[in-house]
C-alpha cells in the first residue's frame, strides 16, 4: 500500500486532471486537452478512464467497474483490482452502492442518482474524426459550430441502409452547442445521458477529457423524417425475463442455439434474486 501515492497518480497529476475536469464541466461537451500519463496498462484498456477515476477518487469512495455492462470481464476485474491495490477503496458490484463507476460501452440500467459519478473510457473523442481527418479543421468546426457534416454521416446511413444504421457511438448535441461522441455506448443508452449523476469522459491516448454535469440537455442528432430511435433486441432476457434492458446475444452451441441475456450483470442478478425468471433461467437458490 505505502509503495504508491493514493490512487497511483501523484498529486500534481491529479490536480492537472481535476483542472481539466472542472473546465469540461463548465463547458459541457467541449473536449479539454490534458497531459495524459502513461498508465501501467495498454492504450485501449481504459487509460483515460482510469486517470479520471484516480483524480476524482477519495478514500471513502465505493468503486465499481463495468465492461459492456459486466462486472466480471477481464478489463473490469483488472481495473477494479488496480484501485484496490493502489487506493485501498471499497469495491462493489452493486450499482446502487457505488459512488464512482467506471464504464466501458454501457450505462447501468438502474437510474443513477445525485452524488454518483460515472466515468467513461473513450477510445476516440472526436465525433467528426472519420468524416474530416484534419484535427485542425475539426477543432475549427467545433469552435464555429459547423456541424452539417455530422448530418452527412446520417444521410449516408439512410441512403445506403434505408435507416440510420449507426447503432453505437451515436452523436449527440449537448445543451444546443457542442456535438459530442458519447463513447461507444449503444444508442439504446443515449436517452439516459441526461441524468442526475455527473458523467466524465476520459480518452487517454487522445489526451482529451469532456464532461456532462447533472441534468444536462443531451439530444441525439436525427432528421425530421427519420427521428432518433433507441434500439434493442426484440426479446426478453432469458435469465431474468426483463423486457426493458439492453441485451447481449450469446451463442450457446454450434447448431444455431442462442440466448439473450441482460448485458448489465448487476441488474440481471438483482432481478433474479427478486424472483424474476426468464425463459431459460432457473429459480434462484433461496
Partner 1 sequence: MKDMAMTEAGLSPLLRVEGLAKRYGARIGCTEVSFDLWPGEVMGIVGESGSGKTTLLNCLAGQLAPDAGRVLFDTRGRGMVDTLTMSESERRMLGRTDWAFVHQHAQDGLRMNVSAGGNVGERLMAVGAQHYGDIRDKAIDWLDRVEIAEDRVDDRPSAFSGGMRQRLQIARNLVTGPRLVFMDEPTGGLDVSVQARLLDLLRGLVREMGLSAIIVTHDLAVVRLLADRLMVMKSGHVVETGLTDQVLDDPQHAYTQLLVSSVLQV
Which residues here bind partner 1, judged by CB under 8 A?
A: 140, 144-146, 148-149, 151-152, 155-156, 158-160, 222-226
| Residue 268 appears among annotated catalytic residues | yes
Element (H, E) at 200: strand 198-203
Nearer to partner 1, 224 or 283 (CB): 224
β-bridge partners, 67: 70, 104
Nearer to partner 1, 156 or 175 (CB): 156
Nearer to partner 1, 69 or 171 (CB): 171
| For the chain, the helix, strand and coil percentages under 3-state DSSP, each to the nearest 5 | 25, 20, 55
Rounded Cα distance, 212 and 215, in Å: 8
| Residue 29 appears among annotated catalytic residues | yes
Residue keyed to cell 484496490 = 84
Smallest separation, CB 223 to partner 1 (Å): 4
Active-site option among 202, 262, 278, 281 = 262
Smallest separation, CB 79 to partner 1 (Å): 36
The per-type count for the chain, helices as H runs and strands as E runs, is 6, 12
Could you report how far apart the first and last alpha carbons of the chain are, in Å?
38
Nearer to partner 1, 96 or 149 (CB): 149
Smallest separation, CB 231 to partner 1 (Å): 18
Smallest separation, CB 179 to partner 1 (Å): 13
| Residue 237 appears among annotated catalytic residues | yes
Active-site option among 48, 49, 69, 268 = 268
Amino acid at each position: 500500500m505505502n509503495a504508491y501515492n493514493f490512487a497511483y497518480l501523484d498529486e500534481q497529476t491529479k490536480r492537472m486532471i481535476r483542472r481539466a475536469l472542472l473546465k469540461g464541466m463548465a463547458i459541457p461537451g467541449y473536449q479539454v486537452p490534458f497531459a495524459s500519463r502513461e498508465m501501467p496498462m495498454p492504450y485501449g484498456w481504459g487509460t483515460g478512464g482510469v486517470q479520471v477515476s484516480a483524480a476524482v477518487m477519495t478514500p471513502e469512495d465505493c468503486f465499481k467497474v463495468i465492461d459492456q455492462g459486466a462486472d466480471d470481464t477481464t478489463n473490469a476485474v483488472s481495473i477494479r483490482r488496480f484501485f484496490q491495490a493502489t487506493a485501498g477503496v471499497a469495491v462493489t458490484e452493486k450499482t446502487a452502492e457505488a459512488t464512482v463507476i467506471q464504464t466501458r460501452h454501457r450505462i447501468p440500467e438502474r437510474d443513477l442518482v445525485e452524488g454518483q459519478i460515472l466515468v467513461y473510457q473513450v477510445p476516440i473523442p472526436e465525433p467528426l474524426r472519420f468524416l474530416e481527418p484534419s484535427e485542425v479543421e475539426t477543432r475549427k468546426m467545433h469552435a464555429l459550430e459547423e456541424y452539417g457534416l455530422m448530418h452527412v454521416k446520417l444521410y449516408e446511413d439512410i441512403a445506403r441502409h434505408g435507416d440510420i444504421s449507426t447503432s453505437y457511438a451515436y452523436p449527440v448535441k449537448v445543451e444546443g452547442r457542442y456535438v459530442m461522441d458519447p463513447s461507444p455506448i449503444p444508442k439504446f443508452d443515449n436517452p439516459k445521458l441526461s441524468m442526475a449523476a455527473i458523467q466524465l469522459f476520459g480518452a487517454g491516448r487522445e489526451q482529451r477529457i469532456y464532461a456532462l454535469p447533472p441534468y444536462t440537455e443531451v439530444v441525439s442528432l436525427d432528421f425530421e423524417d427519420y427521428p432518433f430511435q433507441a434500439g434493442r433486441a426484440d426479446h426478453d432476457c432469458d435469465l431474468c425475463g426483463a423486457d426493458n434492458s439492453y441485451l447481449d446475444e450469446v451463442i450457446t452451441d454450434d447448431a444455431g442455439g442462442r440466448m439473450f441475456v441482460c448485458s448489465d450483470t448487476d441488474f440481471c442478478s438483482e432481478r433474479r434474486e427478486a424472483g424474476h425468471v426468464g425463459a431459460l433461467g432457473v429459480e434462484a437458490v433461496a
